[in-house]
Chain A
C-alpha cells in the first residue's frame, strides 16, 4: 500500500517547501498513519531549522478493479473543464477535469459552459456538494472540502479551460 508522507516546512520568511517520500505502509497493520507521520517527523525535526506547517499523507489506491478504459484517441489532457464551487464562508473551490468529454459542454460541445442538464454532470455535482456516500456501505457522506477544510455547499459554474500537459 503506497502512502506518501508529506511535511510542509516554512523558513523565517514564511517561504514554504515540501518534503515527501513514499512509504510502503500496511493500513491493516497495527500502526495508524497518524502515528507513523509523527514518528517520521520526530526523526526529521532535528535536522532542520524551519517550522512545520502541515503534515499528512497522500494515498495511492490499487485501481486494477476500477471501471476504466483506454484513452480515447482524440482525448487531450490540455482540454479541461473547470468546476467552481462555493464553500462555507463564501470561499471558492475549483476542480479541474482533464480530457473532459466535449459533448458535456452546452450546445452539444459547441459552447464553453458545462451543461448541468446532463445526468452525468448532475451526478458529479451532487457528489461534490452532498459528499461521497455509498449507501450499501456507509450512510455518512464524506464531505468534499476546500484545501482549508471548509465544506463545499453549492455549485457556481463550470466552464471550458485549458491547461498544460506537463511534458
Chain B
C-alpha cells in the first residue's frame, strides 16, 4: 500500500486505501451518475495527492461503475456511478 511520506518521516498522511474509500464517497448517491471529467475534477480537488492513483485503481478494478453513452451533441461520453454490489446469495441447500 502506497503512503505519502514527508521528509524526516514526520507525516504519514492518508494511505491510498483511505483515498480510494473517500473517492467512492464522492460519487453521487445510489441511482445517480456523474460525467467522467466532472468526477475527475472533483476527486482531484478533494484528494490532490493520490487522486490519479485512486482513480486508476477504481477504474481498473471495477470500484466505479462505468457506462458509455452519447450526449446531446452526439459525443461518446463516460458516466460514472457507484458500483452495484452483488446481492447476497440465498442458500441453495
Chain A residues in the interface with B (C-beta under 8 A): 106, 115-117, 119, 122-123, 126-127, 130, 133-136, 155
Query: What total of A-B pairs shows CB separation below 8 Å?
Result: 37
> Closest Cβ of chain B: how far from A26's Cβ, in Å?
29
Binding-face segment, B1-9, B52-60, B82-90: B52-60
Instruction: Please give me the residue from chain A that is nearest to B44 by CB atom.
Output: A117
| 0 or 1 for each of B37-52: is its CB under 8 Å from A? (1 = yes) | 1001000000000001
CA distance A119 to B77 in the complex (A): 7
Chain A interface, >50% SS class: mixed
On chain B, the number of residues with a Cβ less than 8 Å from chain A's Cβ atoms is 16
The CA of A126 and the CA of B64, in the complex, are separated in Å by: 12
Q: Is B76 an interface residue (CB 8 A)?
A: yes
Contact with A along B59-91 (1 / 0, CB 8 A): 110000011111000001110000000000000
A117–B55 contact, CB under 8 A? yes
Which residues from chain B sit less than 8 Å from chain A, CB to CB? 36-37, 40, 52, 55-56, 59-60, 66-70, 76-78
Known contacts A116-B60, A117-B55; A123 and B76 CB within 8 A of each other? yes
Contacts of B37 in A (CB 8 A): 119
Inter-chain CA distance A122–B66, complex, in Å, is 9
With both beta carbons as reference points, the residue of chain A lying nearest to B80 in the complex is identified as: A122
Inter-subunit contact A122/B60 (CB<8 Å): no
Taking the closest CB of chain B, its distance from the CB of A128, in whole angstroms, is: 10
Name the CB-closest residue of B to A156.
B60
New A-B pairs, 19, CB < 8 Å, besides A126-B67, A126-B68: A115-B52, A115-B56, A116-B56, A116-B59, A117-B40, A117-B59, A119-B36, A119-B40, A119-B77, A119-B78, A122-B36, A123-B78, A126-B66, A127-B68, A127-B76, A130-B68, A133-B68, A135-B70, A136-B70
